[in-house]
Amino acid sequence: MSRRTLKLGAVLLGVGGPGQHGTWLDPGIPADASVDIRWYIARARQAEAAKFDLVFIVDSQFITENSPNHYLSRLEPLTLLSAVAVHTSNIGLVGTITTSYNEPFNVARRLSSLDHISSGRAGWNVVTSGDAGTAGNYSRDEHYDYATRYGRALEHIRVAQGLWDSYESDAFPRDKESGVFFDATKQHRLDHKGEYFSVVGPLNLERSPQGQPVIFQAGDSEEGRDLGATVGEVIFTHAATLAQARAFRTEMRERAAAKGRDPETVLTLPGIHVVIAGTDDAARAKEDALLGTKSFDRALKELGRPFGWHDFTQHDLDAPFPDIGDAGQRSFRTQANAIKKLARDNDFTLRQVVEHLTGSARSPFVGSPETVADTIQYWFDEGGFDGINITVNAPAEFALFTDRVLPILRERGVVRSEYESTTLRGNLGLPVPENRHTAARLSVPAS
Ligand SMILES: Cc1cc2nc3c(=O)[nH]c(=O)nc-3n(C[C@H](O)[C@H](O)[C@H](O)COP(=O)(O)O)c2cc1C
């Protein structure tokens, strides 16, 4: 099999996600970008012109007055992507949907609709919701514990996949001459009764162009990695060093293989932060300036998020990192535990933790277009990732990547020159899942 090209994702974060406090002030960004569909359409078209594989929309459903700017007021992912779908033709459309506060029938229907509307470009970033406060918006007293979150997630995905097989691909002849609209033998109930869901089916929507939308996964805990290895086709992650990136990708491939899957069908895409200027020095200076736009007070407040929005402003900044018990164990537990360990291992005060977290945001992908292209290619060649996710804020900055870095990588054959396909699966090189009922019928020998 010839080697795949580097896969490219664009994370559309309008007026700034976590830690991006000054992003919205950029003159190139409309101050209402997070709710302006024209901004999303324009960015998706910009990414599509550069032959990106996908645009990715992050999501959460619980905010406080301290949430990142983009999170304070934003469009619902699948509604947004349906609008983007009709203004684009090749780029994949990946939306975040939580399995903790949705029913599988509803999710399967909405994603299959997006796959139809986009002619085969839908992807589902499966999350279990890190923000424990979401429970309060869904008539629950508290968020699920980890075992329940991930147990529900796996069953949820399996049910959705079962519903996507409700109709075989030739179930609708729609032949006006013979008067045959559909073939009832090609329609199948699911009759699922599990630990968390009971779903009879069938789904009231025929098989979509990709057969099943692509499953993306982004949980980092043991439970999250297990889910990714079981059903994830693309794994979103973060990577600070090449060694860390390679270890994660190797682990996910091995875990998938141990479950009987072909590791080539599990792609790892970390989010990376690129800062590009004419020279390496100029790019470093630009990164310094960007880091300087972070507000310490805002970062202190945002630190509460992984801990279930614990209020850190009540603690002495120069005392040892406070003992806040098990706050966050139902939220972003993995992240919360990593921050506690960082404080413990280094004897950090609260102030030092905040400073370390804002300062450690320095990226390995900073430099001239040649330097950034070389670094990306090196990490790719060394097995650090199958693709990258680039956060898109100011269009002019994104253009530096698409117009200055990508041509170098294209010239070297690292990224594609033309789309291979009009579907997300086709461009990612992922197989179309066979319809289970068709497969079962075909495997029965004719008598
Ligand atoms: C790259 C990346 C992107 C993520 N995007 C989202 C998101 O959009 N919405 C969300 O609720 N959680 C998101 N998460 C969080 C995870 O899905 C998960 O809920 C969280 O990390 C806590 O679970 P864990 O301890 O298994 O990591 C993301 C995580 C990563 C690594």
Digit-by-digit pLDDT tens for the chain (447 residues) are 357 899 999 999 989 998 888 899 999 999 999 999 999 999 999 999 999 999 999 999 999 999 999 999 999 999 999 999 999 999 999 999 999 999 999 999 999 999 999 999 999 999 999 899 999 999 999 999 999 999 999 999 999 999 999 999 999 999 999 999 999 999 999 999 999 999 999 999 999 999 999 999 997 899 999 999 999 999 999 988 999 999 999 999 999 999 999 999 999 999 999 999 999 999 999 998 888 777 889 899 999 999 989 999 999 999 999 998 888 888 889 899 999 999 999 999 999 999 888 876 689 999 999 999 999 999 999 999 999 999 998 899 999 999 999 999 999 999 999 999 999 999 999 999 999 999 999 987 765
Q: How does DSSP classify residue 384?
A: S
Token reading at 122: 């839908």
Ligand 1 atom nearest to 221, measured from its CA? 26
CA–CA separation, 1 and 447 (whole Å): 37
Ligand 1 atom nearest to 271, measured from its CA? 1
CA of 241 to the centre of ligand 1 (A): 20
CA–CA separation, 51 and 426 (whole Å): 13
Using DSSP, state whether 124 is helix, strand or coil. strand
CA of 112 to the centre of ligand 1 (A): 23
Nearest CA to ligand 1 atom 21: 219
Ligand 1 atom nearest to 129, measured from its CA? 11
Whether the Cβ atoms of residue 423 and residue 89 lie closer than 8 Å to each other: no
Using alpha carbons, select from 388, 396, 404 the residue that is nearest to residue 52.
388
Using alpha carbons, select from 146, 149, 129, 145 the residue that is nearest to residue 137.
129
CA of 307 to the centre of ligand 1 (A): 14
To the nearest 5 percent, what fractions of the chain are helix, strand and coil?
45, 15, 40
List of residues 6+ apart from 20 with CB closer than 8 A: 13, 68, 69, 70, 393
CA–CA separation, 274 and 284 (whole Å): 11
CA of 219 to the centre of ligand 1 (A): 5
Token reading at 181: 């609209």
Using DSSP, state whether 39 is helix, strand or coil. helix
End-to-end Cα distance, the chain: 37
CA–CA separation, 273 and 293 (whole Å): 16
Nearest CA to ligand 1 atom 23: 219
CA of 442 to the centre of ligand 1 (A): 39
CA of 127 to the centre of ligand 1 (A): 6
Beta bridge partners of 362: none
Which amino acid appears at position 247 of this protein?
A
Nearest CA to ligand 1 atom 31: 237
Pocket of ligand 1 (CB under 6 A): 58-60, 96, 127-130, 218-221, 223-224, 236-238, 271, 332-334
CA–CA separation, 53 and 212 (whole Å): 17
Q: How does DSSP classify residue 24?
A: G
CA–CA separation, 380 and 374 (whole Å): 10
Model-level pTM? 0.94
Return the C-alpha torsion angle 128, 133, 135, 137, nearest 10.
Answer: -120
Looking at residue 330, its pLDDT comes to: 85
DSSP code per residue over 131-185? -GGGGGGTT-SSPPPHHHHHHHHHHHHHHHHHHHTSB-TTS---BTTTTB---GG
Looking at residue 1, its pLDDT comes to: 39
CA of 153 to the centre of ligand 1 (A): 13
Of the residues 125, 127, 236, which should be mutated to test ligand 1's pocket, given the most ligand atoms within 8 Å of the CB? Answer: 127
CA of 137 to the centre of ligand 1 (A): 19
Looking at residue 360, its pLDDT comes to: 66
Of the residues 55, 134, 217, 220, which should be mutated to test ligand 1's pocket, given the most ligand atoms within 8 Å of the CB? Answer: 220
CA–CA separation, 244 and 278 (whole Å): 29
CA of 223 to the centre of ligand 1 (A): 12
Region class of 199: left (phi > 0), else alpha (psi between -120 and 50), else beta: beta
Q: Which residue has the tokens 């559309």?
A: 12
Looking at residue 358, its pLDDT comes to: 83
List of residues 6+ apart from 273 with CB closer than 8 A: 361, 363, 365, 391
